[in-house]
Each structure stands twice: as C-alpha cells, then as structure tokens.
Structure 1
C-alpha cells in the first residue's frame, strides 16, 4: 500500500496569520478605548466651556457691580468726612441762607452718613462675589485645558493608523497562508481507498466565501477564522457525498445548524453545514458512496442565506478544500 503523506498542520502554516489577527484584535481594542476617551473629553470640554462662557458673563457683571459699589462707598465716605466737621447751622448757612434747602441738605448728609456702613458691606459683598466668580471661571478654564481634547484626537488618529496597519498585515499573512496551504496539495493522491472511490463536487452552486481569516465577519457570533468553503445554492438543492465513507455525525451543531460529517478514511473527512431542517437524509453509521445524496441545502445556524458550508478535515484539522479538490480533478462552485 502506498504511504500516505501528511501535509504540514494548518496551525503551523497559519502561525503568522494568528499573530496578525491578535495584533488586529489588540489594535481594535485600543481604538475603542481611544474613541471612548475622546468622547469623554469632548463632553467634558463642552460642558466646561459652556460653564466658562456663563461664568465669564456673570464675572463681568459682578466686577462692574463691585466697582460701582466701591465708588459709591468712597463717595459716601468722603461726604461723611466733610459732614463730621460741620454743625447743623453750618450746613444751613452753606446753602446760601435757604432754610428749607439747608434742612434738606442736612437730611441727605445725615442719611448718607448712616448708610456708610451699609454701603461698605455692599461693596465688600459684591467684591467677594466677583472674586468667587473669578475663581470659578479659572477652574472652568483649567477643566477645558485639562480635558485633553487635542491629545485624545491625536490618540484616535494613531489608533486608527495602527488598525489599518494591522489589517494590512493580516491580509498579507492570510494571503501567504493560502499560498502555503495550496502548495501542500502538490502531493501524491491519498492511499488506495480514496483514489479508487474518486471524488465529486458536493453541490452545484457558486463559491461565496473561502477558507481562512476573515477581515469582516458576516455575523457577530461566528469565528474570525472561516474553516470551510461556502457554496451558495437555492434551499432544497441536493448535497452529495464528496467521496465514499461512513457518516460519523448527523445532528444540529451550534452555528453550523444541521450538520453531517463523513469519515473517508486515511484521516480525511468532509463536513456539510446549514442543512435544511428535515433535509438530512443519512444517519450515523450509514455507509455512503461518492455522489450519493446525503442532504439538501438550507439556511440553518449562523447563516445569512441558503448555502452549503463545506469543510475538509485532515486528522481533524480543517484545511482549504479548494486546492485539495482541484488536485483530485474537482472544481468547487
């Protein structure tokens, strides 16, 4: 019996892709953090600026009030000083002998003297209010300055550039991995069992997604790494066994929906996912032949439309089905 040659494991082939994907995940997390910090800085800066604008207006009015109060107090104080050296008769005579005018001046000066303490208190109060608003405005200005909006903007820009670099690195690594996996298929056909049974396309349709890392996932709950080949076909389209073997799984399988796994021997197996509800035509333990109808296309599990997810495994490890089938004379899609 010819010796079966095992290709290098995908875990080795895709090591660079795994590292690149990790870098991208880290970069995306950093970008999310930078964006959140930027949003916080925007809100903080905006609120502080609004408060600062309000306080600036209040401060200007308070300072003007304080200046006016001080001026009135000083004027009253000077008037009181002049009054202190005058007798009542002096006040009357200084009015030019007008008794009524003199008495009126006397009343005004007396009232002014009595109000000096009140005016002093008012001047102190308005000055204190102006000082308080000065302090609050200065604090608001510090908040605006310390919000770090400019720094947060620079951080977002840097994080976005890091994400783009990581995406580019991942795309390059995925491309390299695909080339390396394809090169692994330049091997002799597997041992007699597979070559004697032959291979066939499992469904007639169009390839819509290939094997490898995905930059953009179709659904949030699916893996970043696509372990198979998607072939679009109308729901109800027959699915054929790619080659002869034994059914080892026929069940509902999480995001794969309805699923069938066939063991072909020599460590090779094929899996068929998203089968229509009620569309599984085989059971565990069944022996199937190449080209035998085993199921029909569906849209179960994490699927965005009717299609077959074809998965090829070597010793339980998923590998790219396209070059493997091509090496056996079968074109998928």
Structure 2
C-alpha cells in the first residue's frame, strides 16, 4: 500500500514507534484502529490534512485513544460522515471520522475508557477513498468562537512516547 504524506523515516525498513503519544500529560494511543496500516499522514497533501488515516481489511473496530467524555456524536455528510469527538481533559480532544457505524450504546456525556470500542471503520461522508478511519488529535479551549475548528490540530507522531 502506498502511504500518502507518510511521517518522516530514516530508511526504507519497518520503523518501530511508540504506541503512545503524550500531550498535556494525557497519554493517547497513536493508532485507535488495532492491527491497521497507516494510509495517510498528517499535514499538507494538496489540502491541509489535520489527521491521520488508517486502513484495514477486513475492516475492524475503532477504539478510544484515551479515557474521556464523549462530546459529539453526529453525521457530517460533507466531510467525515459518522463523527465522534472525545474530551480527554487538559484541553486535549480526539475525533474519529468515516465510521461505518457508532456503537448504539454510546451517548454524548458518557464516560469512555481507553481501548473501549467506539464503532467500526467505514467510508461515510466524503470517505470515497475507501474504508478507513480518519483520526484527529486537537488541543486548546473548545469554548472558542470556532469550537472544534478553532482548536489546534496536532500530529500524534510528533508526540510519540509515554508521559513522564
């Protein structure tokens, strides 16, 4: 598989990377789609890609990157389709897009645990590039005038490692 906008590496060999990222003392899983492959990295690729895409065949579960509170469960037809946002505290948020479905028992305001299943990877919204998960990490005060879009998008590969 060709990876667009892949994170920088020093060789053509398999790169081992920490499974965790640390942001504001919050430890997040870098890959919330177990046993999947990176299909698109963070940054510019014709347009600003503010997240990371993961692909898996057959499709699999999408899990919470960290403990938190579900802030948004919605359907965004023009972009991310089934979209779920979790507030992890300390002004750290994660979002999960293009889900085929969100688990029916999840509700806004519900506490979630790291590793808890959120839904299944899909291609809803503009996910016409095939089945995948669009995963975003953002930081900042969500009470800004732009809400989610006013937060700073963060590349979790730049935060790799455990919090100390």
When normalised by structure 2's length, the TM-score is 0.71
Unpaired stretches in structure 2, ≥5 consecutive residues: 9-21, 141-150
Change (3 A) 1:229 1:250: same
Q: Where does 1:28-47 land on structure 2 (aligned, <5 Å)?
A: none
- In the alignment, structure 1 residue 238 sits paired with structure 2 residue 96: no
**1:189 CA displacement:** 5.9
1:280 maps to what in 2? 102
1:260-284, Cα deviation, whole Å (9 max, x unpaired): 00000101100000000xx201221
The residue that corresponds to 1:318 in the other structure is 153
**In structure 2, the residue corresponding to 1:300 is in which secondary structure?**
coil
Query: 1:206 — aligned with what?
Result: 37
Task: Give the drift of 1:319.
Answer: 1.2
Give 1:201 deviation, angstroms.
3.1
Gapped runs of 5+ residues in structure 1? Answer: 1-173, 179-187, 216-223
Structure 1: how far apart are the matches of 2:45 and 2:30?
Answer: 27
Matched, 1:249 2:72: yes
Structure having the higher Rg: 1
Q: Which has the higher contact order (CA 8 A, sep 6+)?
A: 2
Structure-2 change in CA distance of 1:238 and 1:208 (3 Å): same
Deviation at 1:323, TM superposition (A): 2.3
Q: Displacement, 1:233?
A: 1.6
CA distance in 2, matches of 1:321, 1:266: 16
**Cα offset for 1:317?**
1.4
CA distance in 1, matches of 2:59, 2:107: 19
Query: How far apart in 2 are the matches of 1:212 and 1:291?
Result: 26
Q: From 275, 292, 296, give the equivalent of 2:120.
A: 296
Which stretch shifts more, 267-276 or 314-323? 314-323
Q: Quote the residue 2:133 is aligned against.
A: 308
The CA RMSD measured in Å over matched residues stands at: 2.4
CA deviations over 1:293-326 (Å, ceiling 9, x no partner): 01110111111100000000011211112222x2
Distance 1:285 1:231 in 2: 26
**Cα deviation 1:130-159 (Å, max 9, x = unaligned):** xxxxxxxxxxxxxxxxxxxxxxxxxxxxxx
Tell me, in whole angstroms, the C-alpha distance in 1 between the residues paired with 2:30 and 2:42: 19
Pair 1:328-2:159 in alignment? no
| 2-structure distance, mates of 1:319, 1:307 | 19
> Normalization by structure 1: what TM-score?
0.36
